[in-house]
Amino acid sequence: MEPHSPLTATHLEPEKAPKVRDVSLCPCKSRLAYGLCCAPYHYGKALPQTAEQLMRSRYSAYFFGRIDYLVDTTHPDRKTPETRAGIQAFADQARWKFLTIVGSSKGQAGDKTGKVEFIAQYYQDGVLREHHENSRFRRSRGLWKYVDGKG
């Protein structure tokens, strides 16, 4: 993180993160208010019903540095002792700028698996970069979880 950067506001401390009712636009670029989009998932008020909703909420969680949420929504089969540190490192290296959902397959209310392809743009060391990923999601105890992704 770079404290002098005007974009540091994207990395809010948890206590400064917007409340569920926040009307500012959600960082996942849904054009919905954060309080009507990803916040209810982040605050445990609702559960993502589709793989894409989980994917968006995980992007927003990276945006706000909500590491607990990212760990919680990683599929238990894929969690290792290094999972949290890996997420933290990835969250810290980037200042997230934009999310584009390229496409998705399955991942709906009646599915057990789903895939979401997305492009996340972020600044790293002042350079705009893209993270292009095909993510796989699978339900665990009925809840959507992130399995893995290929770049």
116 binds Zn ion (CB under 5 A): no
> From the list 10, 11, 28, 73, which residue makes contact with Zn ion (rule: CB under 5 A)?
28
- Cβ neighbors of 19 (< 8 A, separation 6 or more) are 35, 39
**Which of 33-41, 45-53, 84-92, 119-127 is the region at the interface with Zn ion (rule: CB under 5 A)?**
33-41
| CB environment 20-57: b (16+ within 10 A), e (fewer) | eeeeeebbbbbeeebbebbbbbbeeeeebebbbbbbbb
- How many residues form the binding site for Zn ion (CB under 5 A)? 7
Q: Which of residues 49-78 bind Zn ion (CB under 5 A)?
A: 56, 60
26 binds Zn ion (CB under 5 A): yes
How many CB atoms within 10 Å of residue 80? 9
DSSP classification of residue 75: -
30 binds Zn ion (CB under 5 A): yes
> From the list 37, 70, 87, 99, which residue makes contact with Zn ion (rule: CB under 5 A)?
37
Rounded least distance, CB 28 to Zn ion, Å: 3
Q: What are phi and psi of 104, to 5 degrees?
A: -150, 155
Instruction: Provide the binding-site residues for Zn ion, judged by CB under 5 A.
Output: 26, 28, 30, 37-38, 56, 60
